[in-house]
Amino acid sequence: MKGQIFISASTFAKHGDQPLKLLDRSGLSYRINSLGRRLTADELMDMGGDCEGAIAGLEPFNSQVIESMPKLKCISRLGVGIDNIDLDKAKQRGIAVRNTPDVVSQPVAELTVGFAFDLLKRVSVQTASLKAGRWEKKTGNLLSEQTFGIIGLGRIGRRTAELIRSLGAKVYGCDIAPDLDWAKQAGVKIIALDQLLLACDIVSIHITFREDAPFVLGKKEISSMKKGAMLINVARGQFVDENALYDALKDGHLAGAGLDVFGQEPYKGKLCDIENIVLTPHVATLTKESRIQMELEATQNLIRFFETNK
């Protein structure tokens, strides 16, 4: 099988070489991003200009990048989101785009639950206090006694709802096209977004990016949230106005927040300076098990494409 593959994802095969073995057996030749970090558009064009296929992470496959790759036939994305790819340009060029939506559900849902426990039990706050030499006990709350709101009931949102419900919490959800049969079976009450923000003790964002339906929790939406509520975002950084969130945390309107994603990454902003927030560097899907499976599926997607389109 012919085909020059560029693996632009920065951590590919870091946790296991099974995906590389798949490529070796397929007969596809490949080279890997050697910089060990997310590539810029210029670096993508320089390193991947002659590739026929790409295994991509969050690198910017914008119009200019795609145009600079005249042989490119398929982009196989690690993960579910494909908003880093100019889909219109890909369609215009006849470039296939694949992703791995199922494998990310469990790790992202687990981090969401982890954020909720950390915030409710004040784990990070009390750890920092103890390490600073202070023996200070802060009262927490039970997750089972909270009303948990989920914005976006796709694969990840549904899995999160199932985990939260199994822990005894009441779960509300909103979605532009909710699966009412699933919601009834899972015990999730479907309500409008404004009602969810007003009613819930914890609100978690799990929607996908859509150009035709832009979404952001801004000052108005955050101000409408229940006083003392908490906000979790493991979806996309642009879904939350970070300045409005900072103000709400500083003035006590919100009791806490957990963020894995940011408008600008790497993040070095003022949210790092406040106590009542838990921050992680975009690692929701970064578990050994899920990364290996994600890389295997992305590699299989690419191999199948070239087998089918010889």
User: How far from chain centre, in Å, is Cα 164?
Assistant: 18
253 among known catalytic residues: no
Amino acid 46 reads: D
Cis peptide preceding 281, ω within 30 of 0: no
| Residue 101 to residue 95: CA distance in whole angstroms | 19
| Residue 208 to residue 158: CA distance in whole angstroms | 13
Catalytic residue among 155, 158, 159, 236: 236
Burial class of residue 157 in the structure, from the number of CB atoms within 10 Å of its CB (0-12 exposed, 13-18 middle, 19+ buried)? buried
236 among known catalytic residues: yes
Catalytic residue among 136, 145, 265, 275: 265
| Residue 4 to residue 18: CA distance in whole angstroms | 19
- 3-state class of 13 per DSSP? coil
282 among known catalytic residues: yes
β-pairing, 229-233 with 254-259?
A: parallel
Active site amino acids: 236, 265, 282
